[in-house]
A = this chain, B = another copy of it.
């Protein structure tokens, strides 16, 4: 009594990532290692996720102390934890649901309670103040902010409202190539069409507005384009967009009546000369009529800064210039999944409102975050140097984000071999890298890339010695690989 024939064809259209083959393989290799099977390495270095803690980056002490105290308030008795930790934990607890002392003799606020659909009002308020500070005073209205179970969660719900599966023409979403793999999957799963626009690798993965025009032109008659998705700082490409480029994108969105989806989760991770500026700020600076009309959703997350609390699942979306009627539907959809994880919301509060100079936790917090930042800056420099020194390998400058996305100039023989194995050439490369050197990176073909080009993606938010080991393994492997297939 299988229902396979009957299931949603949209869901059937969702492609399986090349990465899933590599993940299965990794599981087997780890099992082999556990059982003592001899390999050229003793442990797999998994740099396939944008997950700092997985790579060995340490959690921030302040963050973990506050979270622990909220969970187990007995920790607030005594002086074990710094006073600002205890005060912050108490303040956060007071914002949770529960009884005050008004009716009963007891007081019981617990983060085990559901929060409101859009998050705890006090945290939403503080996130809104953070946004306004970040944007040089551009106002932010808490009613336009929704905390959620990770930014991807919110993006999928908004796509759900925008993508109209029953319309005569399918809905199209302009999406960068390369692009973080989950968003195209979500668009397809909802019955929408991905319209790729290619970032210019030779110009440091720049977003060029002519390419947006080309992409839009290319889908005429095939779908109804409704939104433009941008990722800044880039994932996987690691570029940071200039203000000028963002202005062009905003004008394009306005002219073509496209809803702007700005994935800005790596805004805290910028290493190059270009500063991060939010789409909301640039839009506001452009003034009316643009600043009053272009519909924008901007996403941020507690997983993606130097805090790196991926496991807690905390993100938010801010909606700008939305028709209240559309916002109502977004809210209804958010309601259908209950409330977001409270610990993820607290992580967002701490990320957007860290200890300030003079606070007892400030010094340690500053040292820990500076250590991560300087490590990553060193990592980025080292990774690009090493890769660009290797024959058949090249890497654009990594200006922001969590990844390097170097291009591999694969020999024809390797491409041929991959074809024979029924694999994408860069998946073939990654599989060999995994088997021979114990490095799990992910293949460019999962992200979209210009026909005939090949890439790999790996996380650079790592302790410096781990990156060193990774680059050593990668260099040795690559040199041998190029020799074998030349």
Contact = CB atoms under 8 A, between A and B. Distances in A.
A166 B165 contact: yes
Nearest to A293: B1
Interface string A109-130: 0111111000000000000000
A372 B70 CA distance: 22
A160 B110 contact: no
A103 B294 contact: no
Contacts of A54: 97-98, 110, 113-114
A465 B319 CA distance: 43
A336 B4 contact: no
A110 B191 CA distance: 37
Given A102-B43, A150-B337, A337-B156, A323 B4 contact: yes
Interface in A331-350: 332-333, 335-344
Contacts of A309: 112
A65 to B, nearest CB: 6
A336 B295 contact: no
A85 to B, nearest CB: 10
A337 B341 CA distance: 14
Contact of A51 (B69, B113, B164): B113
A244 interface: no
Contact of A332 (B11, B45, B103, B104): B11
Contacts of A59: 110, 112
A393 interface: no
21 contacts: A1-B293, A2-B323, A3-B323, A4-B325, A7-B161, A7-B329, A8-B160, A16-B332, A45-B103, A53-B113, A54-B98, A56-B98, A58-B108, A68-B68, A68-B71, A103-B466, A104-B465, A111-B311, A149-B313, A153-B337, A189-B332
